[in-house]
Structure 1
Amino acid sequence: MKTMVILLILASVSGVISQTDMACKAFIFAKNYSLPAQLMYDGDGPNFTFTVCLRACANLTESVMFSLISGLLYDHLFLILGSGPDSNTGLIWVEGQRVDVNFPAQNRRPWRSICLSWDSLNGEMALWVNGKICEQRAYPIRGMYYQTPTIYLGPGQIFLGGKPKLEVGQVTDVHVWDKVLTSKEITDFQKRRGTAGNVVNWRALHYKRSDGDFTVGNFKCKA
Structure 2
Amino acid sequence: MAVRLSEEMDTMMILLILASLSGILSQTDMACKSFIFSKDYSFPAQLIHNGDGPYSRFTVCLRSCTHLTESAMFSLLSGLQYDYLFLILGGGSDTNTGLIWVEGQRVDVNFPSNDMLEWRSICLSWDSPNGEMLLWVNGEMTKRRELLKRGMTYVNPRTFIGPGQIFLGGKPKLDVGEITDVHVWDSVLTSQDVKDFHNKKEKVGNIINWRALNYDGAAEDFTIGPFQCKLNSTVTS
Q: TM (normalized to structure 2)?
A: 0.91
**What is the distance in 2 between the residues matched to 1:144 and 1:42?**
20
> 1:28, 1:163 → 2: CA distance?
18
- Residue of structure 2 in register with 1:169 after alignment: 177
* Structure 2: runs of 5+ lacking an equivalent: 1-8, 232-237
Among candidates 22, 27, 40, match of residue 32 of structure 1: 40
Matched residues in 1 for 2:54 and 2:135: separation?
Answer: 18
User: 2:70 aligned with 1:62, yes or no?
Assistant: yes
Q: Spell out the pairing of 1:172-211 with structure 2 (5 A cutoff).
A: 172-211=180-219
Aligned-residue CA RMSD (Å): 1.3
Q: Is residue 60–residue 82 contact of structure 1 (8 Å, CA) maintained in 2?
A: no
**Residue 195 (structure 1) shift:** 2.4
Could you report, residue by residue, the CA deviation over 1:63-114 in whole angstroms, capped at 9, with x for unpaired residues?
Answer: 0100000111111111111110110001100111111100011221111010
Match of 2:113 in 1: 105
Q: Is the Cα–Cα contact under 8 Å of residues 23 and 203 in structure 1 kept in the other structure?
A: yes
Alignment of 1:96-175 (within 5 A): 96-175=104-183
Aligned length: 223
Q: Could you list the runs of 4 or more consecutive aligned residues of structure 1 that deviate by over 6 angstroms after TM superposition? A: none
Q: Does residue 75 in structure 1 map to residue 83 in structure 2? A: yes
Which of 38, 41, 49 matches 2:57? Answer: 49
Gaps of 5+ in 1: none
* Structure 1 position 13 matched with structure 2 position 21: yes
SS at match of 1:206: strand
* 8 Å contact kept, 1:55–1:173: yes
Q: CA deviation at 1:211?
A: 2.9
1:23 counterpart (25, 28, 31)? 31
Cα distance in 1 for residues equivalent to 2:187 and 2:209: 14
